[in-house]
Structure 1
Amino acid sequence: MWMIGGLSLPPQITFKSNRPNYVRVAIYARHSTDRQATSSHDQISRCEAYCVAKNYQITDIYHDEAFSGAMMENRPGIASLLMAAFDNRFDRIICEDLSRISRDQADTANFFKKMMFVGIEVETISEGVINELHIGLKGTMNALYLKDLSDKTHRGMVAAVLRGSVPGGRTYGYEIVRGLDENGGVLHGKRKIVPAEAETIRKIFTMYQSGEKLRHICNALDRMGIAAPSGGKWAPTTLVGTRVRKTGLLRNTLYRGIVTFNRMQYRKNPETGKKLSVMRPESEWIRVPIPELQLIDDATFDAVQAMLDERSSKAAEYRETAKLRDPVETEAMAKSRIRDWRERQIKTAGKVSALFAGRLKCAHHNVRMGAHWADRYSCKYHQCANRAVRYAELIEAVITAALRLKPDDIRAFYDSDAMERKRQRHQTHLEKSHQKLEELRNRAEHALSTFGLGSDTKELKAWFEDNTEQMRLTRLDIEREKRALADLLAPTNIREIHSRFVKTINKLMIWSRDPKAVTQLRHTMKSYAITAHWDPDGKRWYRTCEIEYDFPAMVRILGQRK
């Protein structure tokens, strides 16, 4: 018997609390690449089923698409999760396993300490509730996984080079071979010689070996109507590159029939998470002969390398002089360089802090909405519903509208009849420009064969200068039409572009005035039309947004490889 206040109660009677018996949880998911077997959506589904079985109440879901686990910096999903944790929006974090949070030991430990500080537990499907033992053991295992993955990737690349593959992208003088091997797999790293470009390479080596200056070689190539690898004019740095990293056309060992690999290694800055290239010692470089790709004979290549080293003697002399310089003078020069650098950074165009600044329109009156005071924007018509609208409400409507964009919308823009007509028009102009350039070249060859190389009359010189100028202008037209045509072609990585667009929009959900995100997105959107709607139930106005996109600009900015 139980005695309460002198009364005896039977043992089967118990007291029940009115307090709800549930745990508020937030789900977090992450996957590294689109090729990964388990996506973040699969992880979220698994975590939701786990929460249902545990009788947890799901309050928030956060995820990071195609983000590496090596660094927590610049991941919008984990940043939003941290902010919500400090706002006490949930009691526990659920994820598939600890590596979804991070594979870096320091990041994992730091995240765990923050959660302990705010009293939030971390629970994974694989390990259960996380404690200090998991942080030590699993953190070490995840870090070792990253190191092992890096070693295997590097070993695979070295093995591919030893089998005759050429790493990297397109090299001037060669083009990438597309096709399948004898086993039906995709060919990787195979190259073949481009005859016209190979002839240009031989001409450059011959001119340099004869003692021509770099600027004279560049001018001669421009006069002959030969485009540089970038499509524009030739520059001395294109030919010689940098002495330390052995870059530039004249230093490229592939022209000698030797692939030089393993020159660089990449390390992540622990503060920013960005990759930095570091030169390996020359003793670790791997050189593999590929004689079928040789363009320059060994004697010519060695002679040119000797001349490059000799002409670099002035730079070596400057470095030796710097070693003998007084430390006080060296420090003064360094401070001067830093001061000049800071001045250049300050002298930049004014940055826009609002995504829709200057491009906001009232859809009811088709007029611009301006910022009139504080953080409020208004249509100029006094009776309009779009009066004194707060910035927070506008940016919410803009973000909601931007997240409605789908990859199919981008594809439909490029598949439209208007875009096809534009492409046909530029293609026609491009063909005419090519035909004109060929005619100018034929005229120049005919003139040379008629008058001979020794002709030196003023009239002939004037004629050649005029013909050269016409060729230059025609080449500019060709490059301009090529760029215009490339902007009008549908990109092959539309889903990747859309994914980057969504990630940039997600940054605005963390901080709506993020300078980097605002700068990128302003180039991809032309205008924002705001429509006001009356909610009779809530007795309030709410607003929606229609965005006019600049898809070619979006492809140029977000379609580049990172």
Structure 2
Amino acid sequence: MKPAAVYARFSTELQNEKSTEDQIALCRTYAARHQLNVVATFEDKARSGASVFGRDGLMQLMDAARQQRFTVVIVEALDRLSRDMEDLAGIHKRLSFQGIEIQAVHDGVADSILIGIRGLVGQMQREDGAKKVRRGMAGVIRDGRHAGGRAYGYRAVPGKPGELEVVETEAAIIRRIFAAYAAGRSPREIALDLNREDVPPPRGRRWNGSTINGNAKRAAGLIFNELYAGRIVWNKVRMVKDPDTGKRLSRPNPRDEWQSIEAPQLRVVEQSVWEQAHALKAEKSHLASHVKRRAAHLLSGLLRCGCCGSGMSVHDRDKTGKTRIRCSAVRESGSCSNRRIIYLRDVERLVLSGMAKELKDPRLIEIYVRKYNRERERLAGDAIAVRARLEAKRDRIEGERQRNINLVIKYVISENDAKQRIAELMEERLCVEAELAALEEAPVPVALHPATLDRYVQTVNTLAETIASHVGAEDDRGSLIDDFRALVHSVTVHPKGPGEGFEVEVKGKLAALVGGQLFPQAHHSSGSHVVAGEGLEPPTPGL
């Protein structure tokens, strides 16, 4: 009697656990009838036939085949081995190479023709089944029911498939998230607050920024979940199986394939808040990634070491939780001599108090504008000189070209002799004209109107009030960060001697006043009065 192995499989957990037992019993009866000796049985329970991955029983069968433990594999039907044409053909090819025959109870001995036919039929049945499932889910949506998985803020109504009801405790968290996001707080900050308060997340153990922020293309995440606005949306993604790993992956569907229906009973977020949050989301989507990220603290990315010019970063927190900073070059390479560790809040207080005093002084504004105008006048003079040189060169070339044309007209030289030179001169003139066209207009000096200066001082007063109301806050400082960073270009920290504190050099943007990229600078010393410097950073080219 030939040694044989039996393989059985059923697809989902919804099927009867005894399905494999029934298949094995049927195969044993077949083996006895055909005088085959069953020496091993292999089975996979609740495993799809769409892939060979994750099917331990099948892998054990193939390992035993390589060990030549049997010469026949018995299955109830060929689709038990696989419902994929490629996989079924591959199994048949490998078993045939080992000299092992496949026999199906309902089909007989498998050859290449039968493998091809059954592989095609099995795959078509599987794909047809998936289409029918999707058709049924589309019908659920048309009935106003939910066809997806569980959504945070809702639970299934017992005995009513597809119907949801609001979980009020989770709905309150959703409303809080939308209100905070619409107010300008970042997803990471919101997640940090929720984790600090031990609010249970939708999945896992902790909230993440991505849980809230989601993915715009897939419309995933809390911010994009239209259930919260009272709309059921289905068919946003489709599931496909990676042929190399067997894992199911989601792929976004085109928006014109999405299906939706109004479900006002499921709304948990007011329409005005929903629209405000999505308007902010759309506005941020056009920004570069480094602009979208909100600064971790007031001076993030602005701090510079006064000794080496490198950036300064967070070093640690003391026992009370206060943040301390130091030169990044010391940590990365040890190449800087500045070993001082400074409290970040001390630097912030010095910068904020100094900026509030300095920016309100009209005399300093006039100094900045005067220096700025001198620089613009210098650039204007250079631009005029360049333009004059190019115009003279253009006129000289055009004059020579006209003289050659006149010589041809007067028959002094032949047209063939002058043709090449005239073409060269024409090309040179076009190049010069292109250079002239590329020149920017000469910068025009700025004249300060008294009303402009008054408005500027009023703006700084508003900033000063914001500083006064937020400077003591430990966590969120609202609009202060955005307002402040719009005025400041960099903050350089200069350490003094031991026990003598430090100085900060603030370079600010005065573009709002003069319409250009001007960086006035001022020095502020810890423990002393504010000293306004008259230095001026070079304007960027093109002013």
TM-score computed with the length of structure 2 as normaliser: 0.50
Higher relative contact order (CA 8 A, sep 6+): 1
The alignment's TM-score, normalised by the length of structure 1, stands at 0.48
Q: Tell which structure's C-alpha radius of gyration is larger.
A: 2
